[in-house]
Amino acid sequence: MKEKLNILIIIGLFYSTFSAFEEWRDYPACRLGRLQSPIEIKEVDSTYSNEFSFVYQNYKPTDSFKIENKAFTFSSGEIKGGYINFERGGVIKQYELKKIDIYPGLHKIDGITSDYEVHLIHKKNLDFNTNKNQYRSIQDANMYLSVVLRYNKEENCNANNIKCTSDDGLFKKLKALNSEPDTLFLNEYPIFQDKRAYLYEGSLLQIPCDENVNYYVVNDIFAMVGDEFKAPETNKINIANSFDRPIYKNFMNYREVMKSNVISIKLLTLIVLLFFLL
């Protein structure tokens, strides 16, 4: 009996090891990649850059979403979700909205996670071209752009001194889509324009974990008004090692402002003199 038990244990160990080996072999990026997502973002470790921006937002209303395992995907091959023109290093790339995923809070910014994250996932339009790109090139082979919006339940907004911006309505609209078909008017909501955000290069969150995604993580946490939206049940997604990859931000803190040329010494002196005179 003891010998049979030992044999079963050995077989079990061999099977589990072989299964893990199969996963590593088929999807090595998931375990061995150095640009995996999500990551912990620290403001002090990020670098200000004005080399990236949304040229303009041009989403279109869409009624073509369907729900698969709490993820909103397009029900046909036709793209009705509109697109983002994303400028980086003076070169404009066009990304078309393909999918909306909802997760429990994944990214951590300065030690703070949110209750939920809404990922608006876009795919690069390879046929897009513009005269502005002429004679310019940038080494950006990333196929996807994921805009990450962070949400807290309304009652959690004041907990732990977390301040939440007013609800932009997107989460409420997605919740309505969960119950019955509707049209999603993304243009109604300034969901990420003119907001502080971080940019880094990461990966898809599902197998095969391809490392070809530009992540645009909005710093703001939105107040989720209304009933709780049940987050999808997914395997636990751990925070990945950043491996010192560059993290950029579209804003400066006051120390960086003082060190930059944004405020000159002469202008600062004039402001101080006016303050004392008035």
> Over the stretch 235-276, which tens digit does the pLDDT of each residue have?
678 899 999 999 999 888 766 666 666 555 666 677 777 777
Q: Which of 67-76, 99-108, 173-182, 219-228 has the lowest mean pLDDT?
A: 67-76
Establish whether the linkage from the previous residue to 208 is cis, with ω within 30° of 0.
yes
> What pLDDT does 26 receive?
59
Contact predicate 82/60, CB 8 Å: yes
Q: Is the pTM of this model over 0.75?
A: yes
Establish whether the linkage from the previous residue to 61 is cis, with ω within 30° of 0.
no
> What pLDDT does 14 receive?
44
> What pLDDT does 109 receive?
96
For the residues 88-94, what does the mean pLDDT come to?
A: 84
> What pLDDT does 60 receive?
67
Tokens 């869409």 belong to 62
| Adjacent-strand bridge partners of 71 | 68
Distance (Å, whole) CA 173 – CA 30: 33
Total residues belonging to the chain:
278
Max mean pLDDT among 25-34, 36-45, 221-230 falls in 36-45
Q: Read off the pLDDT band of 23 (50, 70, 90).
A: very low
Q: Which of 49-53, 185-189, 203-207 has the lowest mean pLDDT?
A: 185-189
> What pLDDT does 259 receive?
65
Max mean pLDDT among 38-52, 138-152, 234-248, 260-274 falls in 38-52
In a 10 Å sphere around its CB, with 0-12 CB exposed, 13-18 middle and 19+ buried, how is residue 49 labelled? middle
Higher confidence at residue 11 or residue 227?
A: 227
Virtual CA dihedral for 227, 232, 236, 237, nearest 10 degrees? -90
For the residues 35-49, what does the mean pLDDT come to?
A: 94
The conformational region for residue 194 under phi > 0 = left, psi -120 to 50 = alpha, else beta, is left
> What pLDDT does 81 receive?
65
Q: Read off the pLDDT band of 25 (50, 70, 90).
A: very low
Give me the sign of the Cα torsion angle 132, 137, 141, 145.
Answer: negative
Fold of 33-277: Carbonic Anhydrase II (3.10.200)
Distance (Å, whole) CA 40 – CA 110: 8
> What pLDDT does 17 receive?
44
